[in-house]
Structure 1
Amino acid sequence: MKYLLVVILMITVSCNQGGSFTRTDSGIEIKTEKGELVRLEIISPTIIHVRATIAGQFSANESLVAIRKADKEINYEVEEGEGYISLLTEKLIARTNLETGEVSFFDRDGNLIINEAEGGRTFNSIEVDGVKGYELRQVWKSADDTEGIYGLGQHQAHEMNYKGANEELFQYNTKVSVPFIVSTANYGILWDNYSLSRYGDPRPYGQIDQLVLFDAEGKEGALTATYMNNTDGSDIFTVRREANIDYENLETVNNFPEGFNFNDSRITWEGEFQPREDGIYDFLLYYAGYTKLWIDGELVADRWRTAWNPSVAKIKKELKAGNRYSIKLDWLPDGGVSYIGLKVHTPVDLEERKNISFYSEMGDEINYYFIKGESMDEVIAGYRYITGKAQVMPKWAMGFWQSRERYKTQDELLGALKDLRKNQIPVDVIVMDWFYWEEDSWGSQKFDLERFPDPKAMVDEVHENNAKIMISVWPKYYHTTDNFKQFDEKGWMYRLAVEDSIRDWVGKGYIGSFYDAYNPGARKLFWDQIRENLYSLGVDAWWLDATEPDILSNASVEYRKLLMNPTYLGPSTKYFNAYALMNAKGIYEGQREFDNSKRVFILTRSGFAGMQRYGTVTWSGDIGTVWEDMKAQISAGVNFSMSGLPYWTMDNGGFCVEKRYERAVEGSEDMNEWRELNARWHQFGTFVPLFRTHGQYPFREMYNISPVGHPVYNTMLEYNKLRYRLLPYIYSLAGAVYHKDYTIMRGMAMDYPHDKNVYDINDQYMFGPAFLVCPVYEYKARSRELYLPEGNDWYNFHTGALINGGNKLNADAPLDRIPLFVPEGAIIPFGPELQYAEQASDETVTIVVYTGKDGVFTLYEDEGNNYNYENGAYSTIELNYSEADQKLIIGKREGSFPGMKENRQFRVIFASKERGFAYAPSNLTKGQVFNYNGEELVVSKY
């Protein structure tokens, strides 16, 4: 390959086709015939950074997301063609049309991967607060219409595969938006923009009056809305015609009938609608309370969310123009002011639906990164190359986390920990949720000494009981606190919430606001206040709540933007989605600068591209205690993980509680269901990156959920213990996150991309390479249908039976069992039974080899709670099984770290079709034991 010399890199070449290009020291820049500038820069041989502008020059603003600049040392070629210019690396070809500026990406064999669509790049001028910018959109056509698309963050509508789908990208409690996708065609796109964005259809959902509506009497123009003072419908408050159902925020709820009492009430909307055109209609149901929606006689949604925290359901319907379809929405608001809405996207051409598209409300220019890999893992590694590595989380973080809303006193928190230890329930972290401060002192970062008389002693006692403590820290301050005043005197507080006298829900209601996390000085002050008041006590981990930012829950998006405006960097319209990123940055950098001896741990309710570099885990927010929400966490967690952010968790059991569970009594069906819901959720939660229980009353300690010895208690304890048995496996995956840019919670398409049957499955996933996890999410279900991907045969983890892949299966799922399957070739190291992750033990590590195919697993170890691994203080032992040789090679140990065991024992168990291995603690004592001193050890299958 002939490479260009630097001395000729800045030559500008004009072309007959009307465009010109300039060679730069890291790529090319094109000026199209219409004056648009397009710049392609090489980040790595597999990553091209594309920018486009009509402003005459590129923005000088630094990216908040990307930390990797163009690499001037990479060899590349520039080739001219008829009407185009190509940029070639050793892995990738990026070809740009000189007339239009449209970019196409090919592999080195010339196979098209994806190309910018003709006319798919749009700029619309916008000015906000005197700052000029553009409303932006970029559309691509992919070469493979059958691909699966994943990522986009964490959303709650059960969507796994985003090919042909739409998603609004903004931050909200339970909704986390990350503008990154990864394809089964082994490419990814990182859209570098921080404003409200949309994937797919760039239009906001429209009102239902886009359809021709008919009320219950057949009169055109509206539906019939019936407001009832009671749930049985016998007492009607009023009946009126409504052309829209739009009560989604604090402003639009004012359009409900004046004087209507939402407590114990019911509202229905009924009638018919008539589409104006043929095609697929996308309905978006926004709901809180008990909500049922029928379309054409079919029940398409049956949902519940607590009144103050709505969620969404998506419904696709293929409809015919001119036909009339019945519709009924039946709503029990569930007390207080509640929220409901029904909107629709009218049809888009089917070919257009297949396209990849990002739209953003405001930005300086089109700005994206194209990433190519040989696998989806390599694509995600490319994303992290651009945006930063994820750390190895502390070993204790891989254990069990006990939380509730909330431990109200020092004695409650310590008592819960003591009871966990007394009952020998393994636990590593006890959590101090919000409101440990005095009632009128939110943001003081100080304990209420009446309820917490000695916070330092409390933290010390937690540590003495071999546990860590995480504490909730909000970016919120009451305006009367000294901490607020420290920010405010420097202009670092968002002022509108104070000026509008917005009161929160505590006591009589207090006025406060959030600090501007985009300001580096404000971030430093935020950390300084936390360090002085909380880190000094010995707090181990930070819970950064409401980081959307949720200054006023259920405010409209427009008012939310006003409440956080202006930011240090510019209008909130432009920087709307990146608050959590900036907030975490301050804590991470502050702690590492102050005390680099222990790993930062941050749990945050929101997230954004690049969050992984700041020691963060995101949880799925204040989800509901319903089976529906439990199922939704599967696709939510998997897509979040496939967005490049490897650490995710949820509130096992759900946060917001249905009132029937609060009132449930012993022996009632509600109590039985509450316990089973928690048991099933606990089983599911065992197999996500962070394993934690949290929620509103009833209390969430397993001995409070069910009595000791109860079947529910027993299965929750069993899975707790299994989690700790699996720590060698799980911590090795955490090591791979940093050292190999691995993803722990994986869509099946990552490991089985050639089996298109898995692309749309939204209720199964891989937990590392060895576990296919199939949660049970229906009450009283004792079996569930699942699919075993082709390309492997699969061992039933519980029975040891070997089952053919590529088939559906109705798997047994008794109350004490979540269906788990292990592929041939998997190698799983099991550790001893522990009470906490760092508990010393000389017990043998048991290696179970699931034979039938070659397999490999790397056992990773380090000191567990510091950053020495970044400088090489860690060890790896490669476990390599050869099916042909029928041997396991326990490889030579590579590396070392202080405190490493030089000599140890491994027990080896071979599972096979003839000799199945059924998991049970007693079965882990079988097999042969071998002494290991760090040198290669060969174990023959017996």
Structure 2
Amino acid sequence: MRLKTLGLAVSALALVASAGLAETPTGLDGRGHMVEVASVNAAGFDLVRLKNGVQFRVGGMTKSVIFYSPTTVRVNTNLGENYWTQPSIVVTDTPDDIDFKISRSGGTVSIRSDRLQIDVDTATGALTFKGPDGHVFTREDGKHPQTVEKKTISDAPTYEVSNSFTLKPDEGIYGFGFVDQGNLNRRNKDLLLVQTNVGIVIPVMVSSEKYGILWDTYSQMRFKDDAGKATLWAESAPGGVDYYFMAGNSLDEVVADYRGLTGDAPMFPKQAFGLFMSKERYPDQKRLVEVAHTFRKEQFPLDYIVQDWQYWGSDTDGTWSGMIWNPERYPDPEGMTREIHDLHMKLMVSIWPSIGNDTELAHELDAHNLRFTPLHWISKKARVYDAYSPLGRQIYFKYIKKGLLDKGVDALWMDGTEVEVGSAAWDAQENIRDIKGLGVNAMGDFTRYLNPYSLMTTQGTYDGERATSDQRVFTLTRSAWAGAQRTAAASWSGDIFANWKTLREQISGGVNVTITGNPYWTQDTGGFFVNEFPGGERNPAYQELFARWFQFAAFNPIMRVHGTSIEREPYIFKDLNPEMYQSLLDTVHLRYRLLPYIYSEAWQVTANRSTLMRALPMDFPDDKATHDIDDAFMFGPSFLVHPVTRAMYHVQDPPAETIPASALHTADGKAGLAGQYFAGVNFDTPKGKVVDATLDARWPGPPLAEIPAGLESLNNFSARWEGFVTAPEEGTYEIGLEGDDGYRLFLDGKLIVEDWSQGAKRYKGATVTLHKGQQVAVKIEYFQGGGERSLRLAWRTPSDLRALKQNTPAIDTRVETYLPKGANWYDFWTDAAFKGGQTASMDAPLDRFPLYVRAGSIVPMGPVVQYATENPEAPYELRIYPGADASFTLYEDDNETYAYEKGARATVDIHWDDKRKTLVFGKRQGTFPGLVQSRTFNVVIASPGNAAGIAEAGLTKAVVYTGDSLELKLDH
């Protein structure tokens, strides 16, 4: 056992000696019945009782099972020594004094609390986890529950470990964060768990069998599930295998156990649940304020405006993220923030863990040796600070407060927290090399502390803000880790690409973050890179994508627009595409009308450890049809959201196909193209040669292409391929390249395609007329300067082009949605009723998307406002969706401070009795300065023709609530 939470590094034998173990011998009576025992000694197996659990030795391993609650146990296995030198950075809880019993029957020892039973196989040490009624949650692999091998890394002892579970055939497993995008269910997956630009790693697995597992290990890990077992491997685990098993009667109880271990999520300011507008980037103070004013002028609701990077200077000087403002472009930061605040908006500002060499912050960190040696890949004059050092975190925050918060900045956007060092952190393998290359931090080597940098840096800013202000903390971070929720940190999915596939991936990826217990997540609405839509915001196909993406964003925990290159402030579409703009306006009005519902559910996250954005199996784990639904989710207890994730009006052509090996040959007759790699982006130094059967390369590593020979780094290289292409048919071809970064394509010496610039993946093609059998010399040039690495030679043959012309798809706006068993449902737009367990079909024009409400719901809705805290005394519309009893707790506080933690808050329990058609308001509990003492509720039962869609209901029954209990009789 490792007492990492207490900061102790002790051997297993020392633990046994210090635990005050009872001397009672093995307890089997003469008839072989199970009896309670305090110790067990059998051939190859020794068990002793500890204060909060047990410890046993079997097969040369020491294994401990420690209760943290009646439903949560920690399992630790090592070789008798613990090599941690620091306390846990994730688990803040300590073991509870739980009543538990130990008994033995044959080759099994059972450890039982009133909520959990753990059976130990005395031959292998494998554990089986059961409920109090004996049903099995899961079990460790019976033959090989774990492997533990001692290693030495960075001159320090550690273990390389793995542990395995045998899952049930139809069990669904979820979590691990935003990795391997596209699928909700992690069955039959192989996941490399390393932070990247577009990968949020959280080492928590949750099962449809109503249990979860948290691994308290920080190195690179790999999770693999196959037909035999599910295994988690870790490169460096100084305490050995170390995980927490959490059981419940529901997945919400599992999440609650996780938060009990790692810390609760505090309340965000109410305005954090409005709209964020962000762009890479607003270039100066004038433009930032101009955009803020235009939102108010156009009456498009907005709560936060965001200043992205380079407000400190340029990206190549020594001022990088020094918590300073460039005096030429931002001459009056205090005046700028006052002007934004006068618009009832908040200001969020981007900061990085890399600090420019010429800043006061860098100088103070360097005085304590608290920056690492490698230079940041963009600036070349900035280095990452040591967030594992308490002093480093304190110094970092000192300058945040001085340079930003004291100037009026309301929220921090912490970019590059994977941590990004030698590249943009796109590739996991390269990020492993970069982070390990930082060396040793204040807590140990970076092999063992590879993944949780973001947790450490957000913990530092949270602690600093809590110590110096009563204003609620809100932090956005590109990476996350277990425990991040306690630091008021919301994660986002990184620099994603604008296309329909990426939009769909945000759904499954997002709920695989929130199901881990980290409730607040968001993404770049509209996609960060817009490369597949020529003309950007003026392209009708992109406008359709943006409108659908915006609808999805309205049901994210945090609603945020962000991206580069193009303009995307929603009001610009008012003239560009009035129909699409109306869709955006309707969507944002729906988000703001739902703020009483959303803010009340945020209180449930804080007070009762709930989850706002919910994978369908969280609410319907026993409906196996939900286990693999990747594109729909619950939003709070009431809404089932099914975003539109395909084009309906502007269907783009399928991508050009990779030119096959059969159509390519080298000058000496080999199949494919002959390639030459070079170090440097201008063909500077020749490196390895290759022959590629097809040119469809993504670097590095299997199952992708291998690292080019002789290249130590996969940044800043170039390559050239030459050979011949043979036309398989007569006619006009489209031949092109898709890649990142720069490329050129020559046919018979003529340049036909060129995009020689650093940028994300995009495709460009040109048409040529060829005769059947004609051989054309082809030459491709490519350079890689950062970000992704890919290149593909593709074509559309004459047959392909004819098929595209003939097969223009008809517009299809129907969307089918599975409605889970265990509930009945209402179409939000029409109030048409549906039985659960069936698929419903909905017409989804641009201003509508599948949105269903669970029967037995109470949904409070406010007025349309321009910011979240506007018009606090306005009446609320209370929509009742009948068909089952319903309850809802309406929550209010001062929206801004932590006074709610001291009881300055108010709740009203509202109950719908479906049989009696009676609505009951309970007595208001609590109060706070500014509480609206008397509020009008316009109560309505949802029905076709009334209380449907975004508009306020027509026929309602008004009631004035003053805080006393109130009963209201309703009928249809």
Superposed pair shares fold, TM > 0.5:
yes
Work out whether 1:722 is the aligned partner of 2:590: yes
- Please list the CA deviations of residues 552-580 of structure 1 after superposition, one character each: whole Å capped at 9, or x if unmatched: 22572442133322121111111100000
Write the distance in 1 (CA, Å) between the matches of 2:636 and 2:302.
Answer: 22
Work out whether 1:367 is the aligned partner of 2:242: yes
Work out whether 1:769 is the aligned partner of 2:642: no
2:609 aligned residue: 741
Work out whether 1:140 is the aligned partner of 2:169: no
Work out whether 1:863 is the aligned partner of 2:741: no
Write the distance in 2 (CA, Å) between the matches of 1:740 and 1:407.
Answer: 39
Work out whether 1:926 is the aligned partner of 2:952: no
Amino acid at match of 1:855: A
Relative distance call for 1:841 and 1:394 in structure 2 (3 A) is closer
1:515 aligned residue: 385
Relative distance call for 1:126 and 1:57 in structure 2 (3 A) is closer
Write the distance in 1 (CA, Å) between the matches of 2:416 and 2:360.
Answer: 21
Write the distance in 2 (CA, Å) between the matches of 1:387 and 1:442.
Answer: 33
2:787 aligned residue: none
Deviation at 1:675, TM superposition (A): 1.1
Write the distance in 2 (CA, Å) between the matches of 1:429 and 1:811.
Answer: 34
Deviation at 1:156, TM superposition (A): 4.8
How many aligned residue pairs are there? 768
Amino acid at match of 1:52: T
Q: 3-state DSSP class of the match of 1:921?
A: coil
Residues 512-911 of structure 1 mapped to structure 2, 5 A cutoff: 512-553=382-423, 554=426, 556-595=430-469, 597-658=470-531, 660-661=533-534, 663-664=535-536, 671-707=539-575, 710-780=578-648, 782-911=813-942
Write the distance in 1 (CA, Å) between the matches of 2:23 and 2:541.
Answer: 70
Work out whether 1:428 is the aligned partner of 2:428: no
Write the distance in 1 (CA, Å) between the matches of 2:537 and 2:945.
Answer: 46
Relative distance call for 1:543 and 1:516 in structure 2 (3 A) is same
Write the distance in 2 (CA, Å) between the matches of 1:373 and 1:583.
Answer: 32
Contact 2:894 2:929 in 1 (8 A): yes
Contact 1:801 1:916 in 2 (8 A): no
Contact 2:119 2:128 in 1 (8 A): yes
Relative distance call for 1:817 and 1:647 in structure 2 (3 A) is same
Contact 2:421 2:435 in 1 (8 A): no
Amino acid at match of 1:589: D
2:670 aligned residue: none
Deviation at 1:392, TM superposition (A): 1.4
Work out whether 1:473 is the aligned partner of 2:361: no
Q: 3-state DSSP class of the match of 2:919?
A: strand
Relative distance call for 1:60 and 1:567 in structure 2 (3 A) is closer
Amino acid at match of 1:638: V
- Please list the CA deviations of residues 396-421 of structure 1 after superposition, one character each: whole Å capped at 9, or x if unmatched: 10011111111101010000000000
2:95 aligned residue: 70
Contact 1:10 1:25 in 2 (8 A): no
2:189 aligned residue: 165
Contact 1:633 1:650 in 2 (8 A): yes
Relative distance call for 1:674 and 1:436 in structure 2 (3 A) is same
Q: Give the root-mean-square deviation of aligned CA atoms.
A: 1.8
Amino acid at match of 1:190: L
Contact 1:167 1:199 in 2 (8 A): yes
Residues 43-62 of structure 1 mapped to structure 2, 5 A cutoff: 43-56=68-81, 59=84, 61-62=86-87
Deviation at 1:367, TM superposition (A): 0.4
- Please list the CA deviations of residues 195-250 of structure 1 after superposition, one character each: whole Å capped at 9, or x if unmatched: 1101115xxxxxxxxxxxxxxxxxxxxxxxxxxxxxxxxxxxxxxxxxxxxxxxxx
Amino acid at match of 2:308: D
Relative distance call for 1:916 and 1:844 in structure 2 (3 A) is closer
Extract unaligned runs of 5+ from structure 1: 1-5, 202-347
Write the distance in 2 (CA, Å) between the matches of 1:745 and 1:842.
Answer: 28
Which of 355, 366, 382 is the equivalent residue of 2:257? 382
Work out whether 1:26 is the aligned partner of 2:52: yes
2:269 aligned residue: 394
Relative distance call for 1:46 and 1:361 in structure 2 (3 A) is same
Write the distance in 1 (CA, Å) between the matches of 2:874 and 2:444.
Answer: 57
Write the distance in 2 (CA, Å) between the matches of 1:748 and 1:489.
Answer: 52
Extract unaligned runs of 5+ from structure 2: 1-18, 25-37, 649-811
Write the distance in 2 (CA, Å) between the matches of 1:903 and 1:620.
Answer: 42
Work out whether 1:179 is the aligned partner of 2:53: no
Deviation at 1:366, TM superposition (A): 0.7
- Please list the CA deviations of residues 505-542 of structure 1 after superposition, one character each: whole Å capped at 9, or x if unmatched: xxxx5332211111111111110111111111011100
Write the distance in 1 (CA, Å) between the matches of 2:408 and 2:926.
Answer: 31
Amino acid at match of 2:66: E
Write the distance in 2 (CA, Å) between the matches of 1:10 and 1:621.
Answer: 56
Amino acid at match of 1:550: E
Relative distance call for 1:60 and 1:24 in structure 2 (3 A) is farther
Work out whether 1:458 is the aligned partner of 2:336: yes
Relative distance call for 1:479 and 1:841 in structure 2 (3 A) is closer
Write the distance in 1 (CA, Å) between the matches of 2:297 and 2:111.
Answer: 65
Amino acid at match of 1:180: V
Write the distance in 1 (CA, Å) between the matches of 2:322 and 2:874.
Answer: 46
Relative distance call for 1:916 and 1:852 in structure 2 (3 A) is farther
Amino acid at match of 2:863: P
Contact 1:637 1:648 in 2 (8 A): yes
Amino acid at match of 1:64: I
Write the distance in 2 (CA, Å) between the matches of 1:730 and 1:557.
Answer: 37
Relative distance call for 1:368 and 1:153 in structure 2 (3 A) is same
Relative distance call for 1:558 and 1:592 in structure 2 (3 A) is closer
Deviation at 1:482, TM superposition (A): 3.0
2:149 aligned residue: 124
Deviation at 1:124, TM superposition (A): 2.2
- Please list the CA deviations of residues 358-389 of structure 1 after superposition, one character each: whole Å capped at 9, or x if unmatched: 11111111100000100000001001000100
Amino acid at match of 1:656: F
Q: 3-state DSSP class of the match of 1:723?
A: helix
TM-score w.r.t. structure 1 length?
0.79
Work out whether 1:442 is the aligned partner of 2:442: no
Write the distance in 1 (CA, Å) between the matches of 2:568 and 2:611.
Answer: 29
Deviation at 1:588, TM superposition (A): 0.2
Q: Which moved more, 1:118-127 or 1:679-688?
A: 118-127
Amino acid at match of 1:419: T
Which of 88, 103, 110 is the equivalent residue of 1:86? 110
1:917 aligned residue: 947
Contact 1:698 1:705 in 2 (8 A): no
Relative distance call for 1:58 and 1:695 in structure 2 (3 A) is closer
- Please list the CA deviations of residues 769-805 of structure 1 after superposition, one character each: whole Å capped at 9, or x if unmatched: 1111111111225222221112222111111111222
1:197 aligned residue: 221
Contact 2:530 2:536 in 1 (8 A): no
Deviation at 1:487, TM superposition (A): 1.4
Q: 3-state DSSP class of the match of 1:411?
A: helix
